[in-house]
Amino acid sequence: MKSTKRALLTSGLCLMLTALMLMGSTFAWFTDSVTSTGNKIETGKLDIVVIGYRLSGDKWSDPILENQLASSPLITETNWEPGQYGAVLIRVSSDDCTVAAKVRMDFTAGGDLAPALWYRLEAVQTEDASYEPDMLAELQYKDSRPAFGDKDVTCMTEIGNDNTTELTLYPEDHDGRYAYYLLEYGMYTDMGSDYQKKSFSLDFTVKATQAAEETDGFGNNDYDADAEYAVSATNENFAETIRNATPGTTVLLTENVQTSTIPVPAGEVTLDLNGYTLCVSDQTTLSGGQKLTLKNGRFDRQGDYNWNSLDFAVIDGASMELDGVTYTGAGFQPQGQGSTVRIANSAVVSKTYCVSTNASNSANHGVKVEIENSTLKCTDADSAAILFNVPGTLTVKNSTLEGGRQALIVRGGTAELSGCELINRAEYTNTKQYYDSSWGSGNEVPMAGLVVGNRANAYQYAATCTLTDTTITVAGTEVPDIYIYGNAEEGLGATLTYPSGTDYEIVKGGNATIIQN
């Protein structure tokens, strides 16, 4: 057993003066209330177990708080007076963990009674699964009461700055799996009537994240050295929580959330949906150095929105990443040099485009789109899963793209597809539109599974597409697998590369190059 004790106030009177003061003081007796908001538990992606106990006479109560968010507060005193005392014990264990976990407790206090209250906090780590009775011996003030200024206690106004000792808990096949946080608290004996009719509230948060331990780091002690604590978000506090998140923070949903937009702060933030659904009614714009990652849950766009609406506009070098998300909405659009959209291990459904680019001006060029192990499906008859119409890079691996008019349009930039399937349902009625005339904007281009190049005065840049182990399926017989046409100016044509022996039905127009390797 290792014990970590903290002296929380270095200033105070000496023991002799303290004793004299206590003997000569007059207690001010009155009634008051100490209330607590619901204490809350907050974890990362680790399966830690948290149990809470109250001091009841000479023993701990039965377990009160058992991994319940804001439903079982530990501190519930009423009718408090000077000299009153209480204690709670929080037990954190890694019984169900398979990785080492760093744990700590954070506190948030409120109310105007805090200056009249004191606290003492102690953290103990042990291998003993039933150490609660031993923690009774750690109580320092059960039979004595401090006055203001006594040593070894701190005014409750400071508890928000006390993030406790951080302890490392180990998986069940190792020692050191239990952490105990003992909180003693009370009202100073020499507080007067100024503190009548005042109240105090306290929230505590148990946080856990992976620890940098070789036992779970595949032989690399730095494997999870940068693991950060997560902060939880409910439907009520979602906007405030993510808006105030510091760079590198993971925000963890603890219930389904309904919001208008996602108020992403500066820097990089991960929104872990944690198996819940995030419902959004308006567009979210990311810009500059902002990076948002959505993972592990469901995203639903709510309400009515136009065919050209977006869920996420990613501009001026910002980044948006989707990982492990079931997604229904209006899609993504990167705009500007270095702006990046990455979709991995996800299923995206949209009306018109899942991912599109904007060719309205050259400032929107230079984007990057990466798709891996995902499905992108557009439900409208006049739709394409991806419209890529600016200089930039598009990489698609082991994914399926499906649309009603085209599966994929590469009107500019460089696209590489490997291990993919393109599906065109051929639901748009005018199957031969633009086959022999100048193309329009957006997906006003020929129908095909894949369209490469350009045939218009606008979009004057080269288009290159490389296919590897990629199949193209088009409904009916009137629509080809691939349509390729290049700009007339030298260097701005269209190039398609695919392996020899692959059987595509291709319509080839002017200034188009086809390479089989």
CB 472 within 8 A of CB 449: yes
Q: Under 8 Å CB-to-CB from 502, ≥6 apart: which residues? A: 467, 516
CB 334 within 8 A of CB 326: no
3-class SS string, 393-431: EEEEECCEEEECCEEEEECCEEEEEECCEEEECCCCCCC
Q: Mean pLDDT across the chain, nearest whole number? A: 85
Confidence of residue 386 (pLDDT cuts 50, 70, 90): very high
Q: How many CB atoms lie within 10 A of CB 363?
A: 12
CA distance 292 to 268: 6
Q: Under 8 Å CB-to-CB from 435, ≥6 apart: which residues? A: 446, 483, 507
pLDDT tens sequence across 389-440: 999 999 999 999 999 999 999 999 999 999 999 999 999 999 999 999 999 9
Backbone angles phi, psi at 423, to 5 degrees: -125, 125
CA distance 455 to 489: 11
Which candidate, 169, 170, 172, places its Cα nearest to that of 180?
169
Q: What is the pLDDT of residue 189?
A: 93
Q: How many CB atoms lie within 10 A of CB 374?
A: 25
Helices (H), ranges, 116-250? 132-135, 238-243
CA distance 168 to 105: 13
Type of residue at 106:
D
To which H or E segment does residue 16 belong? Answer: helix 15-24
Q: What is the pLDDT of residue 462?
A: 97
**Torsion over CA: 18, 21, 22, 23 (sign):** positive
Angle in degrees, CA 321, 322, 323, rounded to 5? 120
Supply the pTM of this predicted model.
0.63
pLDDT tens sequence across 111-142: 899 999 999 999 988 888 889 999 999 999 99
| Secondary structure letter of residue 134 according to DSSP | H
Alpha carbon of 381 to those of 311, 328, 331, 432, 475: distances in Å? 20, 17, 16, 15, 12
Q: What is the pLDDT of residue 192?
A: 87
Backbone angles phi, psi at 387, to 5 degrees: -110, 110
Domain boundaries, the chain: 2-210
In the chain, pLDDT over 90 holds for what percent of residues?
62
Q: What is the pLDDT of residue 40?
A: 53
pLDDT tens sequence across 5-24: 333 333 333 333 333 233 33
Backbone angles phi, psi at 15, to 5 degrees: -60, -35
Q: What is the pLDDT of residue 278?
A: 97
Question: How many helices (H) and strands (E) would you count in the chain?
Answer: 3, 40
Q: Looking only at Cα atoms, what is the longest distance across the chain?
A: 103
CB 66 within 8 A of CB 41: no
Which of 21-30, 214-223, 253-262 is predicted with the least confidence, judged by mean pLDDT?
21-30
Find the radius of gyration of the CA atoms of the chain. 31
